[in-house]
Amino acid sequence: MAIDKETVSYVAHLARIRLSERELDLLSRQLEDIVNFIDKLKEIDILAVKPTSHVLPIKNLFREDKPTKSLNINEVLNNAPSQRDSFFVVPKIIE
Amino acid sequence: MEYQPVIGLEVHVQLNTSTKIFCGCSTEFGSQPNSQVCPVCLGLPGCLPVLNKKAFAYAVKVAMALNCRIAEYTKFDRKNYFYPDLPKNYQISQYDLPLGEDGFLNIRQNGNIKRIGIRRVHLEEDAGKLIHVSDSSLVDFNRTGIPLLEIVSCPDINSPQEAYDYLISLKQIIRYLGVSSCDMEKGILRCDANISVKRQGDSELGTKTELKNMNSFRGVREALDFEIRRQVKLLENKQRVIQETRLWDAQKHMTYSMRTKEEAQDYRYFPEPDLPPFIIDAEMQREIKKSLPELPQAKELRFIQDYQLSEYYAHLLTSDREIADFFEYCVKLYPQAKVLANWMCGSLLAELNSRNLALGELNLSPENFVDLIRLAQEGKVSNVVAKGVLRDMIDTGQTAGEIIQKKNISQISDPDALKEIIDIVIKENEKSVRDYLGGRENAIMFLVGQVMRKSKSKANPKAVLEILRSRLNK
């Protein structure tokens, strides 16, 4: 499967990654190799195999609805580049 | 040209668990911003979400009450997008295997029952809250991770009123289950609508718009109403409806385009590797099913059958579980169901509405309420006075007996006690007496009214009428 530069730059946009023209070139070639490698899986007959949504043989893990202690608010905001009145502050979102 | 609206509703309901869906942080409303967060709901690296058992059971309950097929195997998925209210940059939601599918609920349309399909019910986590100020946006993650149930209807709704009735019915059912208050004004229930119009009889659907930003059931009805008229007008003028998201402005009473670049959403869903799959086996289904209460429509039918109530009374009394329970408690103490229903649907609901309170917030016990009705039925107080007594009971928490004694408002039926007032009224209203004796039957009612007034409504009107008749007809 060919991965063109447009696809790479679309995926980069979805992940909010900025790529230079050179990186786009490089990555589309590398991604193509990776996808081709993965494509080998298509050759296996999996008709009788259920889709795996979890790799461990576990199910129904629950916790009880019992409150636990939340973080101290100073710790919460400790790494925030900007804060005000115990809010995180981000650039204005216009919708 | 006749147009038919085609409407589908997407409802989100916060479940009222004590803790969040994947961590033990409190869900309490109104706390200091970012005081109820932890590494899990902040999406810090290395943490592991674990599903809240109660939230899961609540979600299955709702799906069952909405007649959904319950998934034997259900899982969670990551929905990836960037927005500052979402600290992990993905929301844990459900994609291809929701816990409930293909359900329905019934609404009543002019006495007929209409079935509205429910496409899916799934569980997810709520996002944080953004507050926009002049130069920036403020983020509070307390809401992040509150269990959120998404309920998607089929496009079976064909009028704004049907949409309204659907929401009322959905709210009633969920409130009966006790899993959410469904208060839309507080944002506990949120509703978006997809709406298109097509020519009556056309099989092909028109282009739809998505409506957001409604914050009451009435707002949903009004927004749909506006949007239908807008779309029909466009089509009549040979213009096209553009597929877009529009926001409802409750003040200006109109929808307006969000005017954002609407790129096709690409959420890149994939199975959430941090959570195992969930198997809802027959035993778990049985157990949750057992915990379902009698639902509003079943209760309404039973009230009509068991208590011989009118459909109207039965509907009103079962609109809220608390009211229905109160009624059934009272009816055990006082088996005259119709009298009781009359009192509840009339005076009591009026008191609730005027105070904007729920029944549980009043200090009125079923015992005291029934005592009052008994006193009124026995003629100890007149019906008019009894209504005032009910108001005082609710205000003061006193019993009917205490209020009647203190205010000296027992009904007077004793002829000797009434004689004095009746004598005065006859003396003061010679003209009406003459009119009555001259054959104007109605004039006597005026005299009864005067006696009632002079007795401050304490006289028993039936007794007064009888005494007046026998006195004047002598």
> Residue A41: is it exposed, middle or buried by C-beta count within 10 angstroms (0-12/13-18/19+)?
exposed
Measured CA to CA, the distance from residue B51 to residue B23 in angstroms comes to 8
> What integer is the mean pLDDT of B274-282?
95
Q: What is the DSSP string of B379-447?
A: TSS-HHHHHHHHHHHHHH---HHHHHHHHT---B--HHHHHHHHHHHHHHTHHHHHHHHTT-TTHHHHH
- Tell me which residue range forms the domain holding A27: 5-43
Please indicate whether residue B138 or residue B456 has the higher confidence score (pLDDT): B138
**Considering its fold, how many domains does chain A have in total?**
1
The pLDDT of residue B412 is: 75
pLDDT-derived band at B70, boundaries 50, 70, 90: very high
According to DSSP, the β-strands at B51-52 and A62-63 are: parallel
CB of A74 less than 8 A from some CB of B: no
Closest approach of B149 to chain A, Cα-based (Å) = 17
Option in A53, A76, A82 nearest B75 (CB) = A53
Amino acid identity, position B447? L
Measured CA to CA, the distance from residue B322 to residue B296 in angstroms comes to 11
**Contact call for B277 and A92, based on CB within 8 A:** no
The domain B415-472 is placed in CATH, from the list 1.10.10.410, 3.40.30.10, 3.40.50.2000, 1.10.8.640, at 1.10.10.410
**Contact call for B273 and A54, based on CB within 8 A:** yes
CB of B266 less than 8 A from some CB of A: yes
Among B160, B26, B173, residue whose Cα is nearest residue B105: B173
The pLDDT of residue B473 is: 78
Instruction: Select the residue from A10, A70, A93 to test the B interface by mutation, using most B Cβ atoms within 10 A.
Output: A70
CATH of residue A10's domain is: 1.10.20
Closest approach of A45 to chain B, Cα-based (Å) = 22
Say if residue B233's pLDDT is above 90. yes
Q: Summarize pLDDT for B364-396 with one digit per residue, the tens.
A: 899 999 999 998 888 787 787 888 888 888 888
Cα B255 to its chain centre, rounded Å, is 25
Does the residue A25 lie in any domain?
yes
**Contact call for B279 and A60, based on CB within 8 A:** yes
> What integer is the mean pLDDT of B311-332?
93
In chain B, which among 6-25 make CB contacts under 8 A with chain A? 17-19, 23-25
Option in B18, B137, B258 nearest A90 (CB) = B137
Does the residue A55 lie in any domain?
no
Say if residue A93's pLDDT is above 70. yes
| Chain A residues with beta carbon closer than 8 angstroms to that of B133 | 92
**Contact call for B19 and A54, based on CB within 8 A:** no
B151, B15 Cβ separation under 8 angstroms: no
Amino acid identity, position B194? N
**Contact call for B25 and A90, based on CB within 8 A:** no
CB of B263 less than 8 A from some CB of A: no
**Contact call for A71 and B37, based on CB within 8 A:** yes
Q: Summarize pLDDT for A34-85 with one digit per residue, the tens.
A: 999 999 988 888 888 888 778 888 999 999 999 999 999 999 999 899 999 9
The pLDDT of residue B164 is: 97
The phi-psi region of residue A93 (left if phi > 0; otherwise alpha if psi is between -120 and 50; otherwise beta) is beta
Among B318, B287, B9, B69, residue whose Cα is nearest residue B175: B318
| Chain A residues with beta carbon closer than 8 angstroms to that of B36 | 70
Residues above pLDDT 90, as percent of chain B: 66
Measured CA to CA, the distance from residue B459 to residue A62 in angstroms comes to 66
**Contact call for A90 and B136, based on CB within 8 A:** yes
CB of B273 less than 8 A from some CB of A: yes
Domain layout of chain B by residue ranges: 3-285, 296-407, 415-472
> What integer is the mean pLDDT of B314-320?
93
Say if residue A3's pLDDT is above 90. no
Please indicate whether residue B330 or residue B419 has the higher confidence score (pLDDT): B330
pLDDT-derived band at B167, boundaries 50, 70, 90: very high
**Contact call for A70 and B279, based on CB within 8 A:** no
Neighbours of B369 (CB within 10 A): 25
pLDDT-derived band at B1, boundaries 50, 70, 90: low
Length of chain A: 95
Does the residue A92 lie in any domain?
no
| Chain B residues with beta carbon closer than 8 angstroms to that of A87 | 33-34, 131, 138-140
Cβ neighbors of A46 (< 8 A, separation 6 or more) are none
ipTM given for this complex: 0.90
Closest approach of B177 to chain A, Cα-based (Å) = 17
Q: Summarize pLDDT for B151-161 with one digit per residue, the tens.
A: 999 999 999 99
Does the residue A77 lie in any domain?
no
Positions of E strands within B187-273: 189-199, 209-212, 245-249, 254-257, 270-271
Option in A62, A71, A90 nearest B38 (CB) = A71
**Contact call for A92 and B38, based on CB within 8 A:** no
> Residue B282: is it exposed, middle or buried by C-beta count within 10 angstroms (0-12/13-18/19+)?
exposed
Dmax (CA) of chain A: 59
Question: Any idea what DSSP says for residue B130?
Answer: E
